Structure 1
Amino acid sequence: MADKLVKRRSSMKAKLTIFSAYLNVLNSCDNLSNLQIIELEARFEKFNALYTEFDKLQTEIEVSSDNPEEAYATRDQFEQPYYSLVAMARSLLLGSHGKSQRRDDKNPVPEKHSLSLEEQACEKSFYNNTERKDDGRFVLTIPLKSDPSALGDSYGIAKRRFLSLEKRFELDHKFKSTYLDFMSIPLTIPRLQLYGALLGSRFYTKVKDSLTLPVHRVRYWCDSSIMLGWLSTPPQQ
């Protein structure tokens, strides 16, 4: 039984030697990297637990030993290098943290970034007009100069006017006849294309005036040779 305990104690002494060699390598480095510091902290934590295990084992040996003085001397032979290695490890950790702190003091990270007026406006627009849905998609709301409610119920107004026009047709047959004569003018495809171009340009102007963000360029696609010819015609014609 005693021989088994002594062998276990020898294994612990070997761990002292291994940890000592590891610290000597780190001590020869000018600066410790972040990975080296993390590894040292992990090893040091396990090394601290080594003494608790040794103390329990050595106490059993001392109790069962016929020569307590020799057993006490063995304890002292273990404790002296152990505490020396503990001091060296803590010194390396404190030194590395101190150097890291000094580097941070020399190169402090500014709490606030100096943004230009345009960058501040972009950042403000992002916070005010961008939201993220539950599925992870981002939704961007187009910022308007005024509240959309200022437009009123345009659909309801248009519908009421249409129904009012139908009622007037029923009451005023002459007005209905005049209206039908006007609508009988042939609405050819070229004419409809010109109407579409005119409405498109008016719609673009309306939208552009309603947005707070600047609009630099808009592409209006069309493959109609009639409309393209009309656009290339001088205004006075």
Structure 2
Amino acid sequence: MPKTILITGASSGFGEACAKIFAKQGNTLILVARRKQLLDELADNLGKQCDVYTAQVDVSQPASIATFFEQLPSKLGPIDTLINNAGLALGLESADKADINDWETMINTNCLGLVHFTRQVLPSMVANNLGHIVNIGSTAGKWPYPGGNVYGATKAFVQQFSRNLRADLLGKNIRVTNIDPGMAETEFSNIRFKGNNEKAEQVYHNAKPLTAQDIAETVQWVCNRPAHVNINSLEIMPVCQAWGGWEIDRNC
């Protein structure tokens, strides 16, 4: 049955790929992001396949989120699936050199934004005894690396928040899934390095990373499991990536 699906960060990357793949199923899509022009272009492309509603929302600002939900047309009906995709990494400096403003932006976007969207949609899901929340985390939430500091911490938050949601929602027909992608080539590195294309391209040099389509197909698979099946968590890496060994400084 077609569903009403809300996707954050839908203007590019994983969010855009999810929109395209769910549009083919004839679902009603609610797409939000900061870049309204890109959203509208996407909506124009998808409009022949399904109903699409777009809104410019700054996920890092609670007031922007609240205004969005206040203005959301009631004709769209209850939200069946929330895909909390909006997120970003900024900088790769060590913690003693990192920009505190970058840290705050990552916390506000990756944690606070996800929490506010979740809190807005949960009451209707609980009232209808039906729903699915898909949170896009990262392998950085499990496996630390130099320069990952606050970004990794925010994604660890996403993972634990997802687990605690499952605990809170036990006994209700609401599913919660946390998906942790590894290295994936989207705008991620370009944003991390603040438009430095050379640095961004170096991240993927001589590697075959995941694509946005890979993650979108995974999200679709998770959402299309039978109603009694909950995929708690999935960690996904490209074959070219694995965990590192222990680092030892023998000069301490």
RCO higher in structure (CA 8 A, sep ≥6)? 2
Which interval holds the TM-score relative to the shorter structure? Answer: under 0.3
- Larger-gyration structure (1/2): 1
* Structure 1 or 2: more helix by fraction: 1
TM-score in terms of structure 2 length: 0.21
TM-score in terms of structure 1 length: 0.22
